[in-house]
Amino acid sequence: MALHFTDSYVEDSFALLQHYKRIADRAMEQVSDEQLFLTLDAEANSIALIVKHIAGNMRSRWTDFLSSDGEKPDRNRDSEFVDPPATREALLELWESGWRCVFGALEPLSDADLPTVVTIRGEAHSVLQAINRQLAHYAYHVGQIVLLAKHFAHQDWKTLSVARNRSEEFNRKVAAGELSQR
């Protein structure tokens, strides 16, 4: 992730969320359609179920973000962990629709909105706290997606950051102005 200097929390959060989305997108691109739906064991979630859960959470948390509780009455969280969409295309549409909710809610915000009170499950949060809660939640699940994708892609895995044993080369290129810092 190229650093763009900002002192705006909202702007930085927006950029971080875009970064996490890109990481997950790039990880999912590296697995087959079948691997999106595989689990490591009976208690594990597949990439598809993680995506379904994140999308459900995003829809609930970010729809009418400033004016309604972040846990919508029609959300059935338990259903997010069964019966994922049947195809990659349907799964990715669900994924994209969740991110549209996130970015659509964040885009009109400014740092002046950070002390505004919103609720999640009836509990008061400042906008800043609500954003932090979701940033942490999505980063957690993106990490799971990356772990699973890397496991399934195995020797075909293409790194999403600085390649193993290539840090010194990367740092030299950054110092020489050949690459922007991530």
- At what angle are helices 9-29 and 88-106 packed, to 10 degrees? 170
Which of these ranges, 9-23, 127-141, 164-178, has the smallest mean pLDDT? 164-178
> What are the extents of the domains in the chain?
9-175
CATH superfamily label, 9-175: dinb family like domain (1.20.120.450)
d(CA 117, CA 126): 5
Tokens 């002046």 -> residue: 112
- pLDDT digit string (tens) for 48-78? 999 999 999 999 999 999 999 999 999 999 9
d(CA 59, CA 17): 15
Let me know: does 160 contact 146? Beta carbons within 8 Å. yes
What integer best gives the mean pLDDT of the chain? 93
Model confidence pTM above 0.85: yes
